[in-house]
Amino acid sequence: MIAFIPLYAYARKVPVYESFVDGAKEGFGTAIGIIPHLVGMMVAISVFRASGALDFLMGYISPLLRSLGVPPEVMPLGLLRPLTGTGSLAYATELIRVHGPDSLIGRIASTIQGSTDTTLYVLTVYFGAVGIRNGRYALKVGLFSDLVGFVAAIAVCLLVFG
Amino acid sequence: MINVIWLGMIVIGFVFAAVNGRMDAFTAAVFDGAKNGVTVSFGLISVLVFWLGVMKVAEDAGLLRVIAKLLGPVVRFLFPDVPKGHPAIGYILSNMSANLLGLGNAATPMGIKAMQELQTLNPEKDTATPAMCTLLALNTASITLIPATLIAIRLNYGSADPADIVGTTLAATFVATLAAIFADRLCRRMLLLRRPPGPPAENRSPARGGSAPPHYQVKG
């Protein structure tokens, strides 16, 4: 992957180094740009957890999820995913940090985060750009596919890594 | 919506901390969270810079165009009401290709351009056309081949095989995309069957996981 793309590009006469640097510039901006979001979300998440509120909430849902073989920790991610891309990325990163990238939870979190997009954000940006106020059934369809994707991500991970 | 969730987490956390006598932990958690946020972002810089660089090389090499060629028939099936050869088709293809490669920041500008082109075919300028809804459905489900950011994060936390989630992500995203296309088609049919002047009446939507909200309000 890392070797193939530059080789292919070079064969197509692309100035690979300059092109790489050009794209890499964006990476820094993206990483810096998410600091405020990450700080905001991580504070909220860490406060929610430290106060015992999360344990209280999970205490109710856990038995049900556990009987299905689903780690309850991934539930909040399913709620965050359609609402906020950076927020859910922060939450997924936190799960990976705490449980490890190769744990079942880490893998489920990665799969959920990677398999759908932030419906609310996409809708706002795309319709906002052309001044659409009535989005008809677009949000319904988006949230429905988020739900299906969430269930599918968990099911596939349990099958493959469980 | 996000505001309510964020505020809710903090306020509920505060109330719980007060009731459980964990105020010290609460204060510590605030600063811990903030520190983590910054640390994580800085840890991401190196990998993000690298991946986006590689992806830019892929884009310049014309890999996007290769994928566009493969997807031509798919787009004709998904967007039957866009005339053949209309500029919107090209942008829709670029948008889908960028999504496939996980180039989120390339996909968004392309998607916006596609929307603007579709708007030229729109008789009612403030109401979405079925083609626009299809484009959105595809983007919210986001068919991703390479979840670069997630691979980067897992690499960062010392995963033995950071890319081993590519398969599961592909499967989940495929199912979500199929669901999106199916739901979109269903809604489109219902719209054609009863062409109301306003938004379609609340009907039995396929989403049985809680009835879907109307477009102007979002519930959590």
Whether the predicted pLDDT of B220 surpasses 50: no
Taking each helix axis as running N to C, give the angle between helix B63-78 and helix B23-60, from 0 to 180 degrees, rounded to the nearest 10.
100
CB A94 within 8 A of CB A45: yes
Between B62 and A144, where is the model more confident?
A144
Residue B212 banded pLDDT, cuts 50, 70, 90: very low
Query: What confidence score (pLDDT) does residue B22 get?
Result: 84
Contact B20 A52 (CB under 8 A): yes
pTM (predicted TM-score):
0.69
Q: Tell whether A124 is within 8 A of chain B (Cβ).
A: no
Whether the predicted pLDDT of B210 surpasses 70: no
- Residue pLDDT, tens place only, B107-156: 777 788 788 889 988 888 888 899 999 999 988 887 777 787 888 889 98
Between B201 and B27, where is the model more confident?
B27
Determine which of A21-25, B165-169, B206-210 has the lowest per-residue pLDDT on average: B206-210
Write b or e for each residue in B109-141: b if 16 or more Cβ atoms lie within 10 A of its Cβ, otherwise e: ebbbbbbebbbeebeeeebbbbbbbbbbbbbbb
Whether the predicted pLDDT of B85 surpasses 80: no
Interface size, chain A vs chain B, as Cβ–Cβ contacts under 8 Å: 377
Which chain B residues touch A116 with a CB distance below 8 Å?
140-142, 172-173, 176
Q: Tell whether B34 is within 8 A of chain A (Cβ).
A: yes
Q: Tell whether B212 is within 8 A of chain A (Cβ).
A: yes
Percent of chain A topping pLDDT 90 = 22
Determine the distance in angstroms separating the CA of B73 from the nearest CA of chain A, rounded to an integer. Answer: 23
Range of the domain at A91: 3-161
- Residue pLDDT, tens place only, A77-116: 887 787 767 778 888 999 999 999 899 999 999 999 988 8
Handedness of CA B208, B8, A99, B166 (dihedral sign): positive
Mutate to test the interface with B, among A16, A80, A94, A117 (most CBs of B within 10 A): A117
Total domain count, chain A: 1
